[in-house]
Amino acid sequence: MSSALTDITPIAGKTYEGFTARPMTGSFGALISGVHVADAIDNDELFSQLRAAWIDYQALFFRDQELTPAQHLALGKRFGEVQTEGYAPSLDEHPGVWVQEYPDMYQGPVSDINWHADSSFRENPTRGSLLYALDVPVAAGDTVWADAYAAYEALSDSWKSFIDPLTAIHDVATKGLHNMLDTMGGGVIAMRAALPPTEQPVVATHPESGRKMLFVSELMTREIVGMTDRESRAVLDFLFAHQTRPEFQCRWHWEPNSLVLWDNYATIHRGIFDFGMTHRLMHRVSFHDGWRPSA
């Protein structure tokens, strides 16, 4: 008997010039070995191969990478325009290298407890990110990604036809408004003025791969345009549950000097907050390319 699941062909490993990619799941993600990513800053051929692997696998995972803040920033600039403003502070000497340090960040608007694509509430969402681990818990604090291509492709033809023309409102405060009010007070008003809700397609076409992907998330997607609240909630609740099914997920356990590069268009992600008050220090560089999501 054929179904969307039995029709799936697991992704295969590939050997690129200068490194090897081993699939992390049957859907997406690859563990990259045999390369020091900082070498790609000044090596056009190596960078081209890394970028190709990123498009192929959507998320690249690295171990044992020695990466200074200056190198981290320079690598991000090769992928796109580095974002200097975000929800975390930047290093003073390297604007754009965001510092994600816990337990300090529990005092601010922590928002990665729900699944999301970064900055989908902006007209031009984040293209991708490079997240680097400096000091992490031994057995907690993982991050999980989910495949937006596979989530769309596994839907029935009836569901695809239904959601293909829909649009939805993405809002920075969809889930976190009360927490933001508690921590930011009147600053929320200024933030909402600077980052108003944005209408995005429910199904977008990736600008490079040409594949369709589900472009909604529990944290950022507030409502579907043209539906009643009850109708919108029913559709979104189904899509949120569907897009995070185990077969679409890839979970990563951090170690010091681990690095992940992910495609923020073709994946959603969330942090696992099971480390309490244990110290967790990460550096992150995010970048964008000016793309406006479209069907």
Catalytic residues: 116, 118, 269, 284
CA neighbor of 97 nearest in space, from 70, 118, 120, 124: 70
CA pair distance 83, 74, nearest whole angstrom: 13
Q: Between the CA atoms of 106, 109, 114 and 117, what dihedral angle is there, to the nearest 10 degrees?
A: -120
CB atoms inside a 10 Å sphere around CB 236: 20
141-174 exposure pattern, b = at least 16 Cβ within 10 A, e = fewer = bbbebbbbbbbbbbbeeeeeeebeebbbbbbbbb
Secondary structure in 3-state letters for 235-294 = HHHHHHHHHCCHHHEEEECCCCCCEEEEECCCEEEEECCCCCCCCEEEEEEEEECCCCCC
